[in-house]
Amino acid sequence: MSNTNGNGLPKIGFYVCHCGHNIASMVDVEEVQKFASTLPGVKISRDYKYMCSDPGQELIQKDIKELGLNRIVVASCSPLLHEHTFRVAAEKAGLNPYYFHMVNIRENVSWVHTDKSSATQKAKALTRAAIQRVFFHKPLEKKSVPVNPDVLIVGGGIAGITAALTIANAGKHVYLVEREPTIGGHMAMFDKTFPTLDCAACILTPKMSAVKSHPNITMWTYSEVEKVSGFVGNYKVNIKRKPRYVIEELCVGCMECIDACIYKEAKYPDEFNQKLSKRKPIYIPFPQATPQVVLFDPETCIDFKSHRCKKTCIEACDREAIDLKQVPEYKEINVGTVILTTGFKPYDAELSPQYGYGKYPNVYTSLEIERLVNASGPTSGEVVTKDGNKPKSVGIIHCVGSRDQKAHKWCSKVCCMYSLKLAHLIKEHTGAEVYNFYIDMRTPGKGYDEFYEKIMTEGVHFVRGRVSEVTDWALVPEEENKLTIRVEDTLIGVVRRVPVDMVVLAVGLEPRADAGDIRRMFNISCSNEGWFLERHPKLAPVSTFTDGIFIAGGCQGPKDIPDSVAQAGAAAAEVLSLICAGSIELEPNTASIIEKFCSGCKSCIPICPYSAISFNDGTQKAVINEALCKGCGTCVAACPSGSIIQNLFEDEQIFSEIDGLLKFADIELEEMEAEHA
Amino acid sequence: MKYIYYPGCSLKSTGKLYEESLLAVFDALDIKYEELNDWNCCGATAYMAVDEKKAFVLAARNIALAEEQLKDEAEVNIVAPCSACYMILLKTQKFLEENPEDMAVIKAALKESGLDYKAKAKIRHPLDVFLNDIGEQEIAKRITKPLKGIRVASYYGCQTVRPYSTFDDQRNPVTMDRLFKAAGAEIVDWSMKTRCCGASLTGTIQEVALPLSYIILHEAKKRRADVVTTACSLCQFNLECYQTNIDKKFKTDTKIDVIYFTQLLGLALGLEPKKLGINRLFAQPENLFRIIEGGKPVYV
Amino acid sequence: MDKKSVFAESFALDNAAKDIVEIRRRIKYESELDKGFRDKIAKSAHGEKLYGCIQCGTCSAACPVSHYMDYTPRKIIQMVREGFKEEVLTSSTVWLCASCYACSVECPKGIKITDVMYALKRESILGNYYPKKSPASILANNFFNQVLNNGRNSEGPLLIKMYLKTNPFMLFKNMALGFKLWVRGRISLKTEKIKDKKSLKRLLQSVEDKSNYKAKVHSPALKEASAV
C-alpha cells in the first residue's frame, strides 16, 4: 500500500454518523468507530450524531487542516443525498473532493436489518472496504459544458402550453411537439372546470392562440419525437412530422374543402367527440383547434384507398393548400433541456365489465359526458340518452378503475371533483335525479369542499357504496327498460337497486400506453405503476434521474388542472435555472482508453448506450468523448484487452474494496471457528 | 392422452344424468379416460365450514390417487365435472402451494397412507377439455344434428368459473357459448351466467333460495331461451326440480328445459337420448326434440 | 354479568320506556369486545387481507342473498375487525352465505370474503354459537360426519337426517320430490362408501394429530349435533 496518488502517504479520516436513531438504533456506531481506528492508514476515527450538519462538516474540515488528512471516509446515508455535501466540505478544506468516499450504512444496513449485532458486523465490513478503497483514490477535475438555451417540450396539453409560454416569455426558444393534430390536450375536451365552473375553452383557447403566435415558440402538431441522443445541455432530437396532406402554411382553416368533400354526410367516428359523433375524412378536430388547419385521414379518404375520387376538395381550395402526395417530414433539433408533459389516458371502462360499458348503450364514460354537455359537442350541449330522450335519472359511479386491485390501486384524485361537476351540469341540463355512488368523497383543495357542499344542497343524491354491477334485468316493474345499479348504501346498511336512464362511469387516470417507450427514449425512470418517476417525491417533484429532463402534469401522476399548471411552472423554472447558469459541471467518473493496450477490435463501440465511443481510423484505436460518457462502465467490462479504465472505478480501487470486504469475512470465519473449538 | 375422471358424489346420484351424458360425449369425441379408483368426497362447501385442514386432505387424497393411477403418463389431467369438486380441487392445490407448512402436514399424512402427493396434476373442467384440448372446429366437424334455431342460455352457476379457474372469464364466461355456437345454436345474451341459483340453500333455507332460482328462470324465459344449459349438478337439480314450487310461490310460469350442457352437446353429436340420461329429467325437453330432427322423446 | 359492563346495566331501559315505542339501546363498550378475534380470523385461510377493507360495500351489493342477512357482509368484516365476536358468530349472515364467491371476485381489495365466512362458520361451530335449529349448520355437521365415516356423501340419507333434526315437516313436504327423483334413479337411500374406509379415517386422524390443534370434531356441540 505504498501508493501515494499524488498527495503523500494516506492519512485517512473516518467518520460514522448516528443519523439520530436512524442508524444508531440498529448499528453499534461506537463499535464501528473503534474498529475503524485500528485499520491501517486511519489517522482519526470519530462518530457524530449528524455528520451532515454544519458542525459535522466543520469537524471534517478541522481535522483535514489540523491533522493533515488526505483521505476522507464517511459512513452515513445514501450518496444520493449527501455525497455532494461532503465533497464540498472536503474541497473547502483544501482537499480534492474525489479523495472522499461514502459508505451507506443507513439504506443498506440499519433500515433493512433487524438484528443489531449482524447489522454492526455488516457496517464494519463496508467500512473496511471503503477505507481500503480510498487508498487508491486520485484527484480528479470536473469538466464543464455549455447549456444550449433552446428547450423541447413534448406534449401540448395544459401543462405543455403553460411551460412553453413561461419559457418563451423569458426570451428562450421553445419547440413544442404535439402528437395530435391540435394542441389543447384533455382540457380542450372539458366543458366546465371545477370548482369555479368557468368554461374550459374560455380560459384555455387564449393560451392556445398565444402559443401559436409566440415568436419564441416553434409549434409542431401531428408530430412525434423519434430519437434522442446527447446529454444535459446538449441534446440532439429527431422529430417526425406526420403528413396532414395539407400545407400548414397555406391553409387558413376556411373549411371549404370539408364542405366540398364528396361525402355529403359525416361518416366516421369523431375522435375528439369520443366517437359520439361523426366526421368526414377531411376535418378539423374542433372549432378552436390550434393550428386552424384541416387534415386528411388516409384510412377513410376514398382517394387514398382507390385513387378514384373526384378530388372536389382540391378544386374547392383556392389557396392550393391540399397536397395528397405529402410525405413525412423529419426534423433534427439541438436543445439543452427537455420537459415531458405527455399527459395521461382515461381508464378503459370495458375492462370493468360489471358496469356494462360497451354492452349497454346508455352507459357513458365521464369524458363522453364532458362532450355531451359541451355546446360544440355531438348533441350541441343536449344531454340525451342514445334514443334521444332526456334522462329522468342518472347514476354516476365513482372509482371506476381506481382503488381496485384488479384495475389500478391508486386513487385518481380528480374523479370525485369532476363527478360533482358533472352532477351539477347534468342536473342543470336535464333536471334529472342524479345519484353519486362513491366509496369516499375526496375533496381537499382550495374551494373544493365548499363545492361539494354546494352540489349537495342542489339536491344531488349521495350514496356511499361501491356499485357491484349495472344490469338490464328487471326484478320489479319500475326497473323495466332501465339500467339497474346494485349497491349497498353503506351508511344505512341496506342493499339498494337504483333504476336509472343513464349511467356515467367516473373513470380513473392511468399512464399512457406508450409511456414505457417515451421513458426509454429519454432515459428516465417510471414508477411501478408506469408514471414517470420524479427524482424525489417531495423535494425534486419535476426533476428526473436524467439531468436536463423534466416532467410536469398528468404524465407524472393523476392531477387536476391547477396542479398540472403549477408543475409546469416549476419545470419551466428548473429549465430557466439551467439556461441562465449557462454551463453545467459534469461528474468526472468517465472512462478513457489506454491507447497502447487498445487492439482496435471495436467491440466497445456498439455497446455504448450514449454513443460516446468512436474509432480513429488513423491510429486504429477507439476514442471516448468525455462529454458524452456518462460513466456507466459498460465498455470497461466489455473490453477484451482491459484497455479501458474508468475514473473512480479503477481496477485497483475496486479490487482493494472487495479485498476489504473479504478480509472481514475471513475474520468472521476465524471467530466462528474459534467459538466452535 | 388419457384423463382421470373424478365423478364426485353427486354425479353418482342426483347428477347421474350428467355422468351418463358426459361419458357418452367423451366416447363420441374419442376422449380416453379412467375413473379414479376408490375416490372419496371432495369435501365440498360443507366440509370447509367445519374443518379446513381435513377438507384439504380429502381433496389432496384424490389428487394423490390420480397421480398414482396415471404414474406412467407424462402429465396427469383430472377431469372434475362437478363444479364444487372442480373448485375444491383447485382451491386445495392453490392453498397448499401458498402454505408450505400445511403442505408438509398434508403430504406427511398422505405418506402414512402410502400415497405420494406431488401437487403436479392439472385440474380440468370438461368445458376446458372440450374447448382447449379438442377445439371448436373439431367438435363442429362431428355435429350431426345441428342445433339450428335453438336459443341456448348458458348457465355456469357460481363455482365453475369462480374464483380459481383460469379457462374462462369469471364475470362473463363464454366457453359454453362458443361450444354451442360451434354446434349451430343461437346464443342468448344474458347477465345471469354466474349468478348464484341458491342451490346450497334450497335444502336448508328454501325461502331464500327459491327467489334466486326464480330470477334466473324468469330472465331465461324473458330472453326467449329454449333451453338453459348448466355445468353443475346442484344448479341443474335446483333449477329443474323446483320449477313447480317456484311457480306456486311466485304465481308465474317458469317452465323451461334445464339440462346439462353435455346432454345438449350429446344430442347435437347425434347420440341416443337415453344414453344421455334424458329419461332421468323431470320433463322431457320436447321442444328440443321437435327441433332436432330425428330425435324421439324418451319417457320413463 | 361478566361480559356486560356495569355501566351498560345501570343505563338499561325500564319497561315503561319500552312500552311507549319499541326502543333498543345500542352502545358498545370496549370491555365487551374481543380484541383477539380479528387476528384469529385473519390467520385462518386467506383471511389476511381483511385489515385492508375500505368498507365500500361491493361485497354486500354483489351478494345474491345479502338482503336476507341481519348484517351485510361488509358489516361483518368491520365487526370482525373491531371484535364484535358474539354478534358475528350468532348472526344469520354466516349461515346464509351460499359460497358463491361473487363477493371474492368483486372485492376491489382482494379480500377472500367467502373464506372469511368459512372461518366464521368454523368458529361458530367450535364455540357452540351456531343456531341449533338452523338447517345450514346441521347440514354442514352431518355432511362432515358422513364423509368422515364413509368417505362419500349420500344425498338421500343426509337430507333425511337433517330434516328429522330441524323440521320434520319439511321432510314430509319434500317427499313427493324425493319420490320423483327416486323413480328416475337420481337418489337412493343407500349409504355410499369407499373401499378403503379405514385408511381414510387414519388419514384424517393423522392430519389432526400433525396439525396439533384442538380436536374440533370432538367438541360437545358437534357431538350433540351429529347424534341422531
pLDDT digits (tens, 9 = 90+) for A226-260: 999 888 999 999 999 999 999 999 999 999 999 99
Q: Is the pLDDT of residue C18 over 70?
A: no
What's the rounded Cα separation, in Å, for the pair A468 and C72?
14
Distance CA C46, CA C59 (A): 16
Q: Are B45 and B11 in contact (CB under 8 A)?
A: no
Alpha-carbon gap, residue B79 to B18, rounded angstroms: 13
Give me the residues of C, 66-85, that contact B with CB < 8 A.
Answer: 68
Determine the pLDDT at residue B48. 75
Integer-rounded Cα Rg, in Å, for chain C is 21
C13 secondary structure, DSSP code: P
Search chain A and give the residue with CA nearest C71.
Answer: A493
For residue A640, count other CB atoms closer than 10 A to its CB: 9
Whether A572 and A167 have beta carbons less than 8 Å apart is answered as yes
Please tell me which residue of chain A has the smallest CA distance to B189.
Answer: A359
- CB atoms near residue B143 (< 10 Å): 16
Cβ <8 Å between B195 and C159: no
pLDDT at C132 over 80: no
Fold of the A591-646 domain = Alpha-Beta Plaits (3.30.70)
B282 and C199: CB-CB below 8 Å?
no
Q: What is the DSSP letter of A540?
A: B
* Confidence category of residue C7, pLDDT binned at 50, 70, 90: very low
- In single-letter form, the type of residue at position C11 comes to F
CB-based contact, A490 to chain C, within 8 Å: yes
Express each pLDDT in A166-220 by its tens digit: 999 999 999 999 999 999 999 999 999 999 999 999 999 999 999 999 999 999 9
Residue with the larger pLDDT of the pair C210 and A620: A620
Candidate from A160-164, B287-291, C62-66, C86-90 with smallest mean pLDDT: B287-291
User: Which chain B residue is nearest to residue A472, measuring alpha carbons?
Assistant: B191
Pairing of strands A509-511, A234-241: unpaired
User: Distance, in angstroms, between C3 CA and closest chain A CA?
Assistant: 27
Q: 10 Å Cβ neighbour count for C173?
A: 13
Q: Do C99 and B45 touch (CB under 8 A)?
A: yes
User: Which cell numbers in the block locate residue A191?
Assistant: 366543458
pLDDT computed for residue C219 by the predictor: 47
Q: Which residues of A200-220 are buried (b: 16+ CB within 10 A; e: fewer)?
A: bbeebbebbebbeebebbbbb
CA distance B188 to A51: 73
Kindly tell me the number of DSSP H helices and DSSP E strands found in chain B.
Answer: 14, 8
pLDDT at B178 over 90: yes
Fill in the amino acid letter for A486: R
A472 touches chain B (CB under 8 A): yes
Are B222 and A354 an interchain contact pair (Cβ–Cβ within 8 Å)? no
Is B50 in the same domain as B117? yes
Q: Is the pLDDT of residue A507 over 60?
A: yes
The verdict on a CB contact (< 8 Å) between B44 and C153 is yes
Residue C13 reports pLDDT greater than 70: no
CA–CA separation, A566 and A166 (whole Å): 11
Nearest to A369 by CA among A411, A429, A416, A435: A429
Q: Chain B 225-264, CB below 8 Å of chain C: which residues? A: 237, 241-242
Distance from CA of B10 to the nearest CA of C (A): 8
What's the length of chain A? Answer: 677
Query: pLDDT averaged over chain A?
Result: 94
The whole-angstrom separation of Cα C129 and Cα C37 is 14
| pLDDT on residue A587 | 86
Where is pLDDT greater, at B101 or A1? B101
- Architecture category of domain A12-142+651-676 in CATH: 3-Layer(aba) Sandwich (3.40)
Q: For residue B173, is the peptide bond before it cis, meaning its omega torsion is within 30 degrees of 0?
A: no
Contact by Cβ (8 Å): A360, A483: yes
Report the domain count for chain B. Answer: 2
pLDDT at B50 over 60: yes
C136 or A524, greater pLDDT: A524
Taking an 8 Å cut-off on Cβ atoms, the answer to whether A473 and B172 are in contact is no
Residues of A in contact with C55 (CB under 8 A): 490
On whether both B101 and B137 belong to a single domain, the answer is no
Residue B244 lies in a domain: yes
What percentage of residues in chain B have a pLDDT greater than 90?
A: 60
Angle at A224 between CA A631 and CA A368, to 5 degrees: 125
Comparing CB atoms, the residue among B171, B172, B191 nearest residue A473 is: B191
pLDDT value for C159: 77
Out of A492-501, A562-571, B83-92, C163-172, which region has the weakest mean confidence (pLDDT)? C163-172
* Cα dihedral C64/C68/C73/C74 (nearest 10): 100
Residues of the domain holding B166: 133-291
pLDDT digit string, tens, across residues A63-108? 999 999 999 999 999 998 999 999 999 999 999 999 999 999 999 9
Q: What are residue A507's DSSP bridge partners?
A: A400
Q: Which of residues 298-357 of A touch C (CB under 8 A)?
A: 354
Stated as kind and residue range, the H or E segment containing A331 is strand A329-335
Mean pLDDT of A409-424: 98
pLDDT of residue C184: 86
**pLDDT (tens digit per residue) in B195-205:** 999 888 887 78
Q: Where are the beta strands (DSSP E) in A138-288?
A: 143-146, 151-154, 174-177, 192-193, 198-199, 217-220, 223-231, 234-241, 268-269, 278-279, 282-283
Q: Which CATH superfamily is domain A151-242+330-343+514-581 in?
A: FAD/NAD(P)-binding domain (3.50.50.60)
Q: Is A659 exposed, middle or buried (0-12, 13-18, 19+ CB in 10 A)?
A: middle
Average the pLDDT over B99-119 and give the result: 89
Cell of A329: 417530414
Instruction: Transcribe B180-215 into DSSP letters.
Output: HHHTTPEEP--S-TT----HHHHTT-HHHHHHHHHH
Q: Is C74 on the interface with A (CB under 8 A)?
A: yes
Tens digit of each residue's pLDDT (9 = 90 or more) over A600-619 = 999 999 999 878 899 999 99
| pLDDT tens digits for range A290-329 | 999 999 999 999 999 888 899 999 999 999 999 999 999 9
Q: Does B113 touch chain A (CB under 8 A)?
A: no
- The answer to whether the Cβ–Cβ distance between B215 and A353 falls below 8 Å is no
Q: Looking at the structure, do residues B78 and B149 belong to the same domain, yes or no?
A: no
Largest Cα separation within chain A, whole Å, is 101
Question: Among residues A461, A505, A506, A466, which one has the least CA distance to residue A483?
Answer: A505
Instruction: Cell numbers for C121, please give them.
Output: 362458520
State how far residue A635 is from chain B, nearest Cα, in angstroms.
43
Q: Kindly tell me if the per-residue pLDDT of C164 is higher than 80.
A: no
What are the φ/ψ torsions at residue B239 (nearest 5 degrees)? -75, -30
Using the predicted structure, report yes or no on whether residue C227 has a pLDDT greater than 70: no
Domain boundary among the residues B99, B124, B149 is at B124
User: Mean pLDDT over residues A416-423, rounded?
Assistant: 98
pLDDT of residue A5: 66
In whole angstroms, what is the distance from residue A408 CA to residue A507 CA? 11
* Mean pLDDT of all residues belonging to chain B: 89
Question: Which C positions 2-61 lie with beta carbon below 8 A of chain B?
Answer: 44-46
The string of DSSP letters for B272-287 reads: -GGGGTGGGSSS--HH
- Tell me which of B124, B152, B176 is where a domain ends: B124
Distance in angstroms (rounded) separating the CA atoms of residues A649 and A647: 5
Provide mean pLDDT across the span A439-443.
Answer: 97
User: A108: how many CB neighbours lie within 10 A of its CB?
Assistant: 15
Whether chain B has a CB inside 8 Å of the CB on C99: the answer is yes
**Residue ranges of domains in chain C:** 32-126, 135-226
B264 at A interface, C-beta within 8 A? no
| Domain boundaries of chain A, sorted by first residue | 12-142+651-676, 151-242+330-343+514-581, 244-326, 345-510, 591-646
Probe site for chain B from C43, C46, C66, C101 (most B CB atoms < 10 A): C101
- pLDDT of res. C198: 83
Is A223 near chain B, with CB under 8 Å? no
- DSSP-derived 3-state class of residue A334: strand
A409 in contact with chain C, both atoms CB, cutoff 8 A: no
| CATH number, domain with residue B83 | 1.20.1050.140
Three-state SS at A67 = helix
> Residue C63's closest chain A neighbor by CA?
A468
Kindly give the interhelix angle for A366-373 and A415-430, rounded to the nearest 10 degrees: 40
Say if residue A291 is preceded by a cis peptide, omega within 30 of 0: yes
CATH architecture for the domain at A345-510: 3-Layer(bba) Sandwich (3.50)
Q: Confirm or reject contact between A495 and chain B (CB < 8 A).
A: no
The neighbours of chain B, by the rule of 3 or more Cβ pairs under 8 Å, are A, C
- Tell me if B298 is assigned to some domain: no
Compute the distance between CA of residue A513 and CA of residue A628 in angstroms, rounded to an integer. Answer: 30
* CA–CA distance, B241 with C155 (Å, rounded to integer): 15
CA atoms of A108 and B138, how far apart (whole Å): 59
Length of chain B as a residue count:
300
pLDDT of residue A677: 67
In this predicted structure, what is the pLDDT of residue B24? 97
What pLDDT score does C2 carry? 44
pLDDT of amino acid C45:
61
Q: CB A403 to CB C54 under 8 A?
A: yes
**Does B31 map to a domain?**
yes
3-state SS assignment for residue A231: strand
- With a cut of 60, say whether residue C12 has pLDDT above it: no
User: What pairs with residue A71 in β-bridges?
Assistant: A12
Within an 8 Å CB–CB cutoff, is residue B298 touching chain C? no
- Which residue, of B72, B100, B124, is where some domain finishes? B124
> What is the rounded average pLDDT of the residues A418-436?
97
The answer to whether residue C217 scores a pLDDT higher than 60 is: no
> Looking at residue A655, what is its pLDDT?
95
DSSP, residue by residue, A542-585: TB-SSTTEEE-GGGSS---HHHHHHHHHHHHHHHHHHHHH-EEE
Could you give the CA distance from residue A523 to residue B77 in angstroms, rounded to a whole number?
47
Q: Which CATH number fits domain C32-126: 1.10.3660.10, 1.10.1060.10, 3.30.70.270, 3.40.120.10?
A: 1.10.1060.10
- Amino acid, single-letter form, for residue A630: K
- Same domain? For B151 and B50 the reply is no
